[in-house]
Amino acid sequence: MRAVKEFFDKLAKNETYVKIFKTPFTYLTGAILLSIFQVVTFGVTGEPWGVSGTFANWGAWLYRLVGGNVDRWYYFSSAGAQAVLDRGFFNDPGTMRNLGIIFGALAATLLASQFKIKKIKSKKQVVAAILGGFIMGYGARLAYGCNIGALYSAIASLSLSGWVFALFLFIGAFFGSKLLSKFFM
Amino acid sequence: MAEFTLDCLGEACPVPLMKTEKKMAELSVGDVLIVSIDHSCAMKNIPEWARKQGYNVEIEEVDDGEWEVVIEKTK
């Protein structure tokens, strides 16, 4: 046990380890890595990077699991959407990517030894989190994408829609921050 | 030369930064503010803002995923 502790104490002070796993990357490094990986995911899966659309599919699969049927829902009515649902959870690139993000984030915070279960400070936080999550998720589906699918991937694909999305994202963020300072300051 | 504390544990961005900005405005020159945070991006944006104001900043890792940002109001 002592040898193990010594090893980890030494590792925590190792310059390269600290640089890669502990200190946050600069925005520039992050941007370059994101750009590379969105090209990779586009090349491998044949579709641009998206996040929130997959969550709607997770919801549909969960609903199917309890005996529900979404075949006649307008959102899932296209042949493409049906094909994705029929291929299933484990054959969906978006699912693998999102699981990768979740477990990757967990791994990153553990490697930096920054994992912490945060306490909930007030009921206000709970209400804001649930309400905010619902509005964001619902809005992302109405817009056919979130800040990844409709903004990042759209702009990377030279689509004008990404810039339109960006403009309204800023307007939304402006009013969002007004609400934030009104209720949380 | 007074010392103040600001508890921002359990609070997500950008609330810690907004609270810090507000609190720093109340302090006199020479005072020190210790902000407790457990949201890693606050560890980036609070010091960044404070340094831009020309204040002295130090970050201490007090526990796993928990930091104290010490800001001295120098002017």
DSSP state, B56?
E
Distance CA B24, CA B4 (A): 10
Q: What pLDDT does A135 receive?
A: 92
With CB atoms and an 8 Å threshold, state whether A113 touches B64: yes
Residue B1 has pLDDT above 80, yes or no: no
Count of pairs with CB atoms under 8 A, one residue in A, one in B: 40
Please give the distance of CA A105 from its chain centroid, rounded to a whole number.
10
Q: Any idea how long chain A is?
A: 185
What local confidence, expressed as pLDDT, does residue B18 receive? 93
Q: Which residues of A touch B11 (CB under 8 A)?
A: 121, 184
Please give the average per-residue pLDDT across A64-78, as a whole number: 92
CA distances (Å), A129 to each of A83, A134, B10, in order?
Answer: 33, 8, 13
- A166-180: average pLDDT: 93
Tell me the C-alpha distance between A166 and A24, whole Å.
26
* pLDDT over threshold 80, residue A52: yes
Rounded to the nearest integer, the mean pLDDT of chain B is 93
Distance from CA of B49 to the nearest CA of A (A): 16
A124 contacts in chain B (CB < 8 Å): none
With CA atoms as reference, the chain B residue closest to A121 would be B10
pLDDT at B41: 87
A6-51 pLDDT, tens digit per residue, is: 988 888 888 999 989 988 888 899 999 999 999 999 999 999 999 9
**DSSP letters along A70-89, please?**
-TTSGGG-SHHHHHHHHH-G
Strand order in the sheet with B3-7: B3-7, B32-37, B66-72, B56-63
pLDDT for the residue numbered A23: 86
Residue of B nearest to A115 (CA): B65
Which of A8, A27, A113, A114 has the highest number of chain B CBs within 10 A, making it the mutation to test binding with B? A114
Confidence of residue B37 (pLDDT cuts 50, 70, 90): very high
Q: pLDDT value at position B75?
A: 82
Q: Is the ipTM of this complex over 0.90?
A: no
Comparing alpha-carbon positions, the chain B residue that sits nearest to A25 is: B44
Q: Are B53 and B71 in contact (CB under 8 A)?
A: no
pTM of the entire predicted model: 0.83
Residues of A in contact with B8 (CB under 8 A): none
Can you give the pLDDT at residue B32? 96
C-alpha–C-alpha distance, residues B75 and B71, integer Å: 12
